[in-house]
Chain A
């Protein structure tokens, strides 16, 4: 193995990327874990907002619908970088002001929470649109049947709407997840030590820019490809009952 690396001229790169100091591999992996943590959190938070937003857009009152339209339009027209800066500073400012108003001490907001909040709000706007489309694609008879049997709304959501829309929503959500993983890189701009910032610090300290940026690119690509496999599994699973359901509805 070492001989192979030597002949390819990669020995230096390998030692820079090794997991033990003086290699910087551990730093990159820590950044990767941070990135994934935030991406997962933001994706989940975005899904919650999206589900609420989609319900609001479909069944809410006219005022709520207008407000949601403004939310999704604004978020989708303004660069993520600008939104991150605004939400990053505004978010913690507001929370602290609220805390002081209620008589508490200043709240410490960790970088992870701030990142999840910021990216989650951005993701929510896109998730709203994806989920709205998916809910609309459910054959209306299914929801009507649930209502006719007297299912309470929350149970309908849990037992009918969400399972039925999963198949339609999965491709869009897969896309959103990929956007979430890539958007975590933007947190480098506010100094959060996720993969891209760790990479740049390693590259700056060692001057081996190509080695580290390519390594980080490889890690991101692995996430993308791996997620692709997972999501196609999920989609297959989510669609498993659909043909028979459609037959039943005929």
Chain B
């Protein structure tokens, strides 16, 4: 038996075990996005979504590695092969479905507008008239603001939601539109004490999507099925509810 045949046999064996042995790179946004995913001071990623990723991968018997990438390049990173799946609070929308496939949703939350407590703003085009509203680039919030608030307000686009929050506190923008859970977490911190949630925006499923799912490359059905299986499993056995209870008072599914 030559070295070559040993190698060939080893390769075949590795291929035979399939997805389980192969590393699956789960892309998350390289930015603080509490309470879903943020880096702590010891250099590990923590949060609800990180726990869910671990649970889903365990249930689906995938060998997952969390890989932070820039949010506004996360879809090109997926199609380009730097990562294999996106689990970064990405909503399932028609527009994104043209480029990538999604698993079943694993959470769903409304979209809110947040502003300074002293400022009279509500989450309608009339309520935002003449104001500056900050949104994160490449999000459903950017798409929504451009559709509904474009004529009423000035829209400022940030690379990360964290920066928009920072500028809201600094007073450079009057309001920001973002996910309700992330914003509830933000206004409960010292930094976000200035501000409060002013209300939900009117729903538009075509833009705001149908919940958050894991994004995979078009045609990567094996991984999509595996993730679906994992998501279904943690929903069925109560792991999802148990993780949620650790972070939130109510269910977010």
Direct contact of A and B (CB under 8 A): yes
In the complex, whether A27 has a CB less than 8 A from a CB of chain B is: yes
Say yes or no: B81 contacts A205, CB within 8 Å.
no
Q: Are B81 and A96 in contact (CB under 8 A)?
A: yes
- Which 7 pairs, one residue from A and one from B, show the smallest C-beta to C-beta distance? A191-B70, A191-B30, A191-B69, A21-B41, A204-B162, A96-B81, A21-B42
Mark B residues whose CB is within 8 Å of A.
15, 22-23, 25, 29-32, 38-43, 67-71, 73, 76-77, 79-82, 159-160, 162-163, 166, 191
Q: How far is the CA of A176 from the CA of B38 in the complex (A)?
A: 35
* Docked-complex contact B163 and A108, CB < 8 angstroms: no
- Prevailing SS type, chain A contact patch: helix
In whole Å, how far is A21's beta carbon from the nearest beta carbon of chain B? 4
Assembled-state Cα–Cα distance A96/B79 (Å): 10
A93 and chain B: residue at smallest CB distance: B80
Of the candidates A190, A204, A209, which one forms a contact with B31 in the assembled complex, judged by CB atoms under 8 Å apart?
A204
What 1/0 mask marks residues of chain A from 88 to 115 whose CB sits below 8 Å from any chain B CB?
1100110110000000011111010010
A contact residues vs B (CB 8 Å cutoff): 21-24, 26-27, 30, 85, 88-89, 92-93, 95-96, 105-109, 111, 114, 189-193, 197, 201-202, 204-205, 207, 209
Chain B residues with CB below 8 A from A22, complex form: 41
Q: How far is the CA of A108 from the CA of B30 in the complex (A)?
A: 19
**How many angstroms between the C-alpha atoms of A30 and B73 in the bound complex?**
23
Chain A residue contacts of B32, Cβ below 8 A: 201, 204-205
Interface of B is mostly: mixed
Let me know if B69 and A27 touch, CB within 8 A: no
Q: Measured between alpha carbons, how far is A106 from B41 in the docked complex, in Å?
A: 33
Query: Cβ of B81: which chain A residues have Cβ within 8 Å of it?
Result: 92-93, 95-96, 106-109
Residues of B within 8 A of A92 (CB): 80-82
Closest to A97 in B: B81
Chain B contacts of A189 at CB under 8 A? 70, 159
A205 touches B76 (CB 8 A): no
**Assembly CA distance A175 to B39 (angstroms):** 34
A22 to B80, CA, bound (A): 36
Give the CA-CA distance A190 to B82 in the complex, in Å: 11
Within the complex, what minimum Cβ distance (angstroms) separates A121 from chain B? 16
Q: Is the CB of A26 within 8 A of B30?
A: no
Q: Tell me the nearest residue of chain A to B190, going by C-beta.
A: A207
